[in-house]
Amino acid sequence: MSIEALKKEIISSAEKEKEKIISEAKAEAQRIIEEANERALRIIERKRAQIESELRNRKEVAVAVKRLEGKRMVYEQIMKLLDEVRAKSLEKIKAIKESDEYIEIVSKFIVEGLKDLNITEAKVLYSSSDADFFKKNSKKITDKVSKLFGKKVKLEFLDSNESFLGGVIVSDVDEKVFYVSTFDGKLNALFEERLDEILNILRGGVE
């Protein structure tokens, strides 16, 4: 073989090797890029899912907070109504105290106390603010109680030295047992224990 022919052969072989090297490099490059793109896609999907989850959580928290605020708004209106009910009730109760009806009411409370304590002789404690009323009406009340109770009773009316809205506290003569029947106590108990009934009426329900 001549040198020229040999040269042609060797160079041709080198060119083929070159093509093979470049071709393999391109294939490897393509594989690297494809793998990277797939990985990038997975990263983006994962990040998107993560952000979606974070946004969902933030949304749930924001909605829950808004619901709480909304319920507080409704609750405030209910509290406002209850305050108005209490205020108007107090006005009416005070008005009743100024009327003749108060004698009837106090007499009835005392009878309930006597029955509850199972006594016929009792001390009747009243609010300092009612001192004039009881001084003026004690005999009338005693007679009324005797009539309602069905037998003669002996009552001693005493200033409790406490100021309450109205009503009485009945005790035995030794002041060992008490029957509390004050307007304040009844009013507070009503708003604590039977609030649902008041709310039901305010909502338009039946008493």
Count of residues binding other proteins (CB under 8 A)?
73
Count of alpha carbons within 13 angstroms of residue 204, beta-carbon side: 0
Q: SS3 for 53? A: helix
26 or 135: CB nearest other proteins: 26
**Which residue number, 43 or 173, has a Cβ lying nearer to other proteins?**
43
- Under rule CB under 8 A, residue 79 binds other proteins: no
| CA 177 remoteness from chain centre | 37
* Of residues 131, 156, 128, 130, the one with CA closest to residue 142: 156
Query: Is the separation of the CB atoms in 164 and 183 below 8 Å?
Result: yes
User: Interface with other proteins includes 80 (CB under 8 A)?
Assistant: yes
Decide if residue 44 touches other proteins (CB under 8 A): yes
Least distance (Å) between residue 48 CB and other proteins: 6
- Rule CB under 8 A: is residue 10 a binding residue for other proteins? yes
Indicate whether 48 belongs to the interface with other proteins (CB under 8 A). Answer: yes
Distance from C-alpha of 11 to C-alpha of 5, rounded to nearest angstrom: 10
Q: Does 73 bind other proteins (CB under 8 A)?
A: yes
Strand, helix or coil for residue 160: coil
Asked if residue 17 binds other proteins (CB under 8 A), the reply is yes
Binding of other proteins at residue 94 (CB under 8 A)? no
Q: What tokens were used for 172?
A: 């035995």
Which residues touch 106 (CB under 8 Å, ≥6 apart)?
Answer: 141, 167, 168
- What does the alpha-carbon distance between residue 153 and residue 188 come to, in Å, rounded to a whole number? 30
Nearer to other proteins, 24 or 116 (CB): 24
Among 53, 88, 115, 139, binds other proteins (CB under 8 A): 88
Site residues (CB under 8 A) for other proteins, limited to 118-147 = none
Per CB under 8 A, 40 contacts other proteins: yes
**β-bridge partners, 181:** 168
Q: Is 7 near other proteins (CB under 8 A)?
A: yes
Q: How far is the CB of 156 from other proteins (least distance, A)?
A: 24
> Taking CB under 8 A as the rule, does residue 6 contact other proteins?
yes
